Amino acid sequence: MTTKKFEASFEMAESAETLFPLFSAEGEKLWVPDWDYVGVTGGTELYEDYVFMTENHDFATTNAIWLVKRFEPKKHFVQFYKVEPEDKIAVVSVRCKEMSARRTLVTVGYDYIALSDKGRDFINDHGQGDYEAFIGQWKLLLQQYFNS
């Protein structure tokens, strides 16, 4: 089995209370270009076992099924299974740690598991630098959202 884990962090000049809701299916519509989703289990609020689907967008290579694995809003933590059926599974974790009233450390982890040759190729071809550039785009897009 081919697996790989990545983690990267960035700081934002916003409170965790303000940032954390943006890391949901509905919240990402506000700051990720072309992000949209279809709720499978209904509603727009996250909860454990909530299921939604996304189509191709700037940050995905294939369509994906997302399942909320853990949802701890008081701790500003969410974890998803992102399943790309012909490709790979990622366990995606997002934690917002408030450093001060207007400063938050956002830590994002992706634990990849290959399901096919395509998934193995992706995992083998991507290193920490690629991942940090990917998460750097999150910070840039969030900064643009808050500055608009």
pLDDT in tens, 74-108: 999 999 999 999 899 999 999 999 999 899 999 99
pLDDT of residue 44 exceeding 60: yes
Grade residue 60 by pLDDT with cuts at 50, 70 and 90: very low
Please, what's the b/e burial string for 21-45 (b: 16 or more CB within 10 A of its CB; e: otherwise)? bbbbbbbbeebbeebebeeeeeeee
Average per-residue pLDDT in the chain? 94
Diameter of the chain measured on Cα atoms: 46
Strands (E), 19-128: 38-39, 51-54, 64-72, 77-84, 88-100, 103-114
Q: Look up the domain containing 137 and give its range.
A: 3-147
Cβ distance 102 to 17 under 8 Å?
Answer: no
Domain count, the chain: 1
Q: What is the Cα–Cα distance from 53 to 135, expressed in whole angstroms?
A: 21
Identify the CATH number of the domain in which residue 140 sits: 3.30.530.20
Q: Beta partners for 80?
A: 68, 92
